[in-house]
């Protein structure tokens, strides 16, 4: 789960990670009022859960309240990568001396937590990692051992600073960021940039925290921060029904049991020259209600011209699945063709049940995909 910069900064302040003084605003008037409180230059930053807002014109420096209001008008309502800006953060302008990067994430290969620090801050860190990986210092830590030792935090800080006064500040920030990461079950915590100002203070100019979806059950306060993006509404609706759904741009709706098989089905549609409309994993059970819910979600996408159902029966009996499917489809008005491939225990009995229905039977994944594609062409 992702949150906004202003929300991440609220969490940072709980962990004593210094951030600039900031006010969240929803209207240009509020932006103007906020600027009056600062009595100096301000930065206005769009709050959207996507990177690259600076390049898109979502971050501006204003020299007076009127200019701030003007920028507020410009940025609020702006579309950044498909997302509408509904809030901006008005922040005191910091006199920046230099910019750095500090981040923590999970590392799959070492099965540990990895710290990354770099003097190349303020820019796209993924780009730095690709082109000049030597500019990023990494430290792997396993929380099983009681966390990050002070010397480790200090040594990381020494990688990007020489002055011990600054190193001490940064080491403290690193320790606090680590605590913030572990205690909240984050999957990414990033300060980019971390800045040194002309007075010798270090602070987090930006903040990004992603959370591990698996751990949200033990962080209800974080779950409350969730903001559902327009393109995620269907995904969340599906999730609440025990389905996993992601919409794409094609015209062949896919309904599959199992995530891996669902991806394989989409890939196969593409391989035979079609375009999958979605990823949809209905999970292991043959519960008719799940099929009805899944079909409703598929059909809510008006681009869908044919549906391909691919079920590998496994332990559940195919005739039960077939009965559930027929029952489910009888309750729905479906006017597009549905191709089904169902295999596993009691496959023949299942096929006999399906023969009586309007469903088009296929004996293999490949045949189902080709049939569905042909039907969209007619």
Partner 1 sequence: MSILIDEKTKVIVQGITGRDGSFHAKQMKQYGTNVVAGISPGKGGQEIDGIPVYNSMQQAVKETSANTSIIFVPAKFATDAIYESADSGIKLIVTISEGIPIIDMIKITEYLERKNIHIIGPNSPGLISPGKSKVGILPAQIFKKGKIGLISRSGTLTYEIVDHITKSGLGESTCIGIGGDPIIGMNFIDCLKLFEKDQETEAVALIGEIGGNAEELTADFVKQNITKPVVGFIVGKTAPPGKRMGHAGAIISGGSGTASEKIAALEEAGISVANQPSEVATLLKSKL
**Is residue 258 close enough to count as binding partner 1 by CB under 8 A?**
yes
**Is residue 15 close enough to count as binding partner 1 by CB under 8 A?**
no
- 248's CB contacts (< 8 A; 6+ apart) are 266, 275, 276, 277, 278, 279
Contacts of partner 1 in 85-124 (CB under 8 A): 106, 108-109, 111-113
Q: Is 196 helix (H, G, I), strand (E, B) or coil?
A: strand
For this structure, is 190 an active site residue? Answer: yes
Two tokens at 341?
Answer: 């491939």
Identified binder of partner 1 from the candidate list 59, 262, 294, 339, rule CB under 8 A: 262
Which of 101, 178, 181, 245 is an active site residue?
101
Binding mask 142-181 for partner 1 (x = CB under 8 A): xxxx------------------------------------
Q: Are 36 and 30 in contact (CB under 8 A)?
A: no
Buried b / exposed e across 149-168, counting CB within 10 Å, b at 16+? eeebbbebbebbbeeeebbe
If binding means CB under 8 A, how many residues of this protein chain bind partner 1?
A: 52
Distance of CA 287 to the CA centre of its chain: 29
- Strands 88-92 and 42-46, sheet pairing: antiparallel
Among residues 163 and 367, whose Cβ is nearest to partner 1? 367
Q: What is the C-alpha separation between 88 and 67, in angstroms, rounded?
A: 15
Among residues 54 and 344, whose Cβ is nearest to partner 1? 344
**Is residue 192 close enough to count as binding partner 1 by CB under 8 A?**
no
**Is residue 221 close enough to count as binding partner 1 by CB under 8 A?**
no
Identified binder of partner 1 from the candidate list 86, 212, 237, 301, rule CB under 8 A: 212
Q: Rounded to the nearest whole angstrom, what is the least distance from the CB of residue 68 to partner 1 in the complex?
A: 32
Q: Which stretch binds partner 1 (CB under 8 A): 67-75, 148-156, 170-178, 208-216?
A: 208-216
Contacts of partner 1 in 29-68 (CB under 8 A): none
Half-sphere exposure of 267 (CA within 13 A, CB side): 6
DSSP bridge pairs for 115: 104, 139
Binding mask 227-256 for partner 1 (x = CB under 8 A): -----------------x-x-x-------x
How is 81-94 classified by DSSP, letter by letter?
Answer: TTEE---EEEEEPP
**Is residue 373 close enough to count as binding partner 1 by CB under 8 A?**
no
- 295's CB contacts (< 8 A; 6+ apart) are 255, 307, 328, 329, 332, 334
Q: Are 344 and 304 in contact (CB under 8 A)?
A: no
Contacts of partner 1 in 311-370 (CB under 8 A): 312-315, 343-345, 364-366
Q: Which positions lie near partner 1, rule CB under 8 A?
A: 106, 108-109, 111-113, 126, 129, 142-145, 182, 185, 187, 212-215, 217-218, 244, 246, 248, 256-264, 266-271, 276, 279, 281, 312-315, 343-345, 364-366
Which of the residues are catalytic? 101, 190
């Amino acid at each position: 789960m992702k949150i906004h910069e202003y929300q991440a900064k609220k969490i940072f302040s709980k962990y004593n990670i210094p951030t600039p003084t900031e006010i969240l605003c929803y209207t240009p008037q509020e932006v103007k009022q906020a600027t009056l409180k600062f009595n100096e230059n301000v930065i206005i930053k769009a709050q959207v859960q996507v990177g690259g807002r600076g390049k898109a014109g979502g971050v501006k420096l204003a020299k007076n309240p009127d200019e701030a209001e003007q920028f507020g008008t410009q940025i609020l309502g702006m579309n950044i990568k498909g997302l509408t800006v509904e809030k901006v953060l008005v922040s005191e302008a910091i006199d920046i001396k230099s910019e750095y990067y500090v981040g923590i994430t999970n590392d799959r290969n070492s099965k540990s937590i990895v710290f990354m620090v770099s003097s190349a801050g303020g820019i796209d860190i993924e780009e730095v990692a690709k082109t000049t990986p030597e500019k990023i210092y990494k430290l792997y830590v396993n929380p099983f051992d009681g966390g990050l030792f002070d010397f480790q935090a200090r040594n990381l800080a020494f990688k990007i600073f020489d002055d011990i006064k600054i190193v001490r500040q940064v080491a403290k920030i690193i320790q606090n960021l680590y605590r913030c990461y572990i205690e909240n079950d984050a999957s990414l915590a990033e300060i980019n940039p971390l800045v040194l100002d002309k007075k010798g203070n270090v602070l987090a100019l930006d903040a990004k925290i992603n959370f591990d979806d698996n751990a949200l059950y033990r962080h209800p306060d974080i779950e409350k921060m969730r903001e559902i993006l327009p393109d995620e509404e269907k995904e969340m609706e599906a999730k609440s029904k025990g389905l996993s759904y992601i919409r794409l741009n094609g015209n062949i709706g896919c309904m599959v049991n199992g995530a891996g098989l669902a991806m394989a089905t989409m890939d196969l549609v593409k391989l035979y020259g079609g375009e999958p409309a979605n990823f949809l994993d209905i999970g292991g059970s043959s519960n008719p209600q799940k099929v009805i819910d899944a079909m409703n979600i598929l059909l809510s996408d008006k681009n869908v011209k044919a549906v391909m159902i691919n079920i590998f029966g496994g332990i559940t009996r195919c005739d039960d699945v077939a009965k559930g499917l027929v029952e489910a489809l009888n309750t729905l008005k479906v006017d597009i063709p549905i191709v089904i491939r169902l295999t596993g225990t009691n496959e023949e009995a299942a096929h006999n049940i399906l023969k009586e229905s309007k469903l088009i039977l296929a004996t293999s994944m490949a045949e189902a995909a080709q049939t569905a594609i042909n039907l969209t062409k007619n």
